[in-house]
Structure 1
Amino acid sequence: MASHDLRTVEGVYTDFRRRREALLQALTVDAQEFSRQCDPEKKNLCLYGCPNGNWVVQLPVEKLPPQLLEPTLGINFPRDAMEHKHWLSLVAIHSDVWLYAVAFLLWFTV
């Protein structure tokens, strides 16, 4: 995918759309793989929707740009304590909040 210019409205929208597609992929089509990667025995994990359209579950990034917000920490801990569909819904809610926060942050820095 071609890179996008975050200094334009179109660039911010492209970033938002690609991150959203990645999160939707993780929580629907790839839900079993996503769940497998969210092992409650691991440390605080985060779900990242990447601007290239991929998703990744990993520990929080050590050094984010100061203006970029961190996704919700510890999505893996309630995995086995809730019904699977409720856990996915909870992660989806937190992911939406993070996604909108990133988009608005980028929008206001345009």
Structure 2
Amino acid sequence: DKPFVSPNPTIPFSLSFCVVGMDGGAQYNPRTVEEVFRDFKGRRAGLIKALTNDVEEFYRQCDPEKENLCLYGFPSEQWEVNLPAEEVPPELPEPALGINFARDGMQEKDWLALVAVHSDAWLLSVAFYFGARFGFDKADRRRQ
């Protein structure tokens, strides 16, 4: 992978792992190390897209007047702003709740950076969830 360079120079932050997302109804269960990494990369690409190329649409969808919203990244490299899963407990770790509430109280670049940080944490939690769920054996963990 090449280093990420924002196509929007007005957003001066870097996205190390930005990705967020549930699978919206369809069950997706990566079962190998390669599948978990592919899931991670797809979700990451979706979040980067939301926070860079699609930033105007993302900003518009995060209306502070709406309910607690979350940014989801999907393995398909797509993103969505939506309410958290109604399933309790949720199948996957949830992304940061209420990303829309702070939007108008901060400068746009600072708000986007905050969403990016929470997205990084969520992305890693999803990858660790899949890794722990399937208990990859020692050979799988050492594979390069």
Q: Shift of the alpha carbon at 1:51?
A: 1.5
SS of equivalent to 1:57: strand
Pairwise CA RMSD of aligned residues? 1.5
Structure-1 separation of matches of 2:69 and 2:80: 10
Moved over 4 A (4+): 64-67
Give the superposition deviation at 1:64.
6.5
Q: Residue 64 of structure 2 aligns to which amino acid in structure 1?
A: P
Normalising by structure 1, report the TM-score: 0.91
For 2:29 and 2:112, locate their aligned partners in 1 and report how far apart those are by CA, in whole Å: 32
Q: Aligned partners of 1:28 and 1:64: how far apart in 2?
A: 32
Q: Deviations over 1:21-58 (max 9, x none)?
A: 00000001111110000000001000000121110000
- How does the TM-score come out when normalised to structure 2? 0.70
Please tell me whether Structure 1 or Structure 2 has the larger radius of gyration of its CA atoms: 2
Residues of 2 paired with 1:100 and 1:13: CA distance? 11
How many pairs were matched up?
A: 107
Match of 1:98 in 2: 122
Q: 2 CA distance for matches of 1:52 and 1:64?
A: 25
Distance 2:58 2:35 in 1: 28
Give me the whole-angstrom Cα distance separating, in 1, the residues matched to 2:91 and 2:128. Answer: 11
Q: Which ranges of structure 2 fall in alignment gaps of 5 or more residues?
A: 1-27, 135-144
Q: Which runs of 5+ in 1 are unaligned?
A: none
Query: Which residue is 1:11 aligned to?
Result: 35
**Counterparts of 1:62 and 1:52, CA distance in 2:** 22
More helix by share: 1
For residue 101 of structure 2, what is the aligned residue in structure 1?
77
Q: What's 1:26 paired with?
A: 50
CA-CA distance at 1:107 after TM superposition:
1.2
* 1:68-104 alpha-carbon deviations (Å, 9 max, x no partner): 1111100000101000000000000000000000001
